[in-house]
Copies of this chain bind each other. A is one copy, B any other.
Amino acid sequence: MAEKISKSGRRQHATIKEVAELAGVSQMTVSRVLNRRDVVREATRARVEEAIRELKYRPNLLARSLAGGNSLFIGMIFNNPSNSYLSELLIGAMNRCREAGHHLVLEDFSSYKEPEDVDELVGRVSGAGLDGILVVPPLSEDDLLLSKLDEVGIPCVLIAPRTRSGSGTSLSIDDEAAAKQMTEYLIERGHKRIGFVIGAEDQISSHRRYSGFQMAMAEAGLEIDPDLVRRGRFTYRSGMEAADRMLDMADAPTAIFASNDDMAAGVIASAFRHGKRVPEDISVVGYDDTPIASAIWPQLTTVRQPIAEMGYQSVDLLASFIGDEDQAGKDLHPVLDVAIIERDSVKRVS
C-alpha cells in the first residue's frame, strides 16, 4: 500500500493529476479516457489505463459533478419509512443517482395527516433548493398534495399514481395485465371456481386488478360467481373476513386471488380456521411480493413488481424532464412489466 495518509488519518485517493503525471499526458487526456468521449489513441489510452490501475485511481464524484455542472438534487418524499417497498425504491434510485452524479435527498412526510399539514411540508421541499421530486406511493395518490406540488412548480415524477395523466411525469406498472396473467395462471392449473378479494375502494389499483381478473375469466369463458367476489381494505383482517364468507359456502371456491399479499395472508388464516389445508384443499395467490409473502407458510405465489427498477428509472425520467425544454416525442408515463413468483400456495386441480 503506497497510499498517502493525511494527518487526519484518512486515506488519500490518487487524483487525476497524479495519473496524468505517471502516464506522461495531460489531465484532459485522462479525463477523456475516463469518459470515453472522443477516441483517444490506443497507445496513450493503454498508458493511462495502466497508470489508473497502478494508482488505484477512482474519480472523485464530487469534483466531477461540481465541474460538470449537471448534477441534480433530487428529493424523494414518502410517508412510510418502515416499508420494504421504500427500501427497494431507494436502492434503485440511489444507484442511478450515484451513476449519474445526482444527489438524493430524503424527505419524510409521515407527519402529513391532516390537509392543513400539506402547506408546511410542500414549503419544506420547495424551499430546499431541490431540482425535482420523486413521489412515493401512497403519496402519489394524494390529489391535494399533488396539486400543491404542481402549484409551486417543482418537477415531479409520480411513482404508481392514481392516473397516468397530470402535468408531470409518472412511472407505473400494468396492474390490469398482471392480474389477468395471474388469473390465467390459476385457470391453466384447472381452477374454475375462483374467488376474488378486491382491494380498498379508493385506490385505483384495486379496480385495475379486479378488471384484469374479469378479463381473464371472460376470455376463458368462465363465470364469476358474485358471492365469490368480496371487497377488502388491503389489510390482513379484511382478507380473513372476506375469505370467511367464501369458505362458509357449501360450494366453496378451489382458489382465491387476493389483491395484495396482506389480504392473501388473511385468506390463509381463514382457511386454517376452517380446517382447510393450503394448497391441498384450496389455492391462494396474492399480489405485491411483500416480505409477508415469503414469511408465512405456505409461501405465497404472488405478483412481483420491479420496484428497484422503478426507482432507477424514475431518476432518469426526472432528469430528462428537467433537462429538456421540449417534452415532444418522449414517453412521459412509461409502464413497466411484472412477473409471477411461483411459490407453494397453488395446486393443480383436476
Query: Contact residues of A with B, CB < 8 Å?
Result: 8-11, 13, 56, 58, 60-63, 65-66, 70-73, 81-84, 86-88, 90-91, 94-95, 98, 103-106, 108, 127-129, 131, 235-237, 240, 262, 265-266, 268-269, 272-273, 289-292, 295-297, 307-308, 322-325
A265 CB contact (under 8 Å) in B90, B94, B295, B322? B295
Contact status A103-B61, CB under 8 Å: yes
CB distance from A7 to the nearest CB of B (A): 9
Contact status B61-A291, CB under 8 Å: no
Contacting residues, chain B, for A90 (C-beta < 8 A) = 87, 90-91
> A308 and B91 in contact (CB under 8 A), knowing A127-B56, A265-B296?
no
List 11 A-B pairs, Cβ < 8 Å.
A9-B325, A11-B131, A13-B129, A82-B84, A82-B88, A82-B289, A87-B90, A90-B90, A236-B297, A266-B297, A292-B292
Contact status B56-A129, CB under 8 Å: yes
Contacting residues, chain B, for A73 (C-beta < 8 A) = 61
Contacting residues, chain B, for A291 (C-beta < 8 A) = 82-84, 290-292
Contact status B83-A297, CB under 8 Å: no
Report the separation of the CA atoms of residues A87 and B110 in the bound assembly, to the nearest whole angstrom.
14
> A297 and B240 in contact (CB under 8 A), knowing A308-B81, A324-B9?
yes
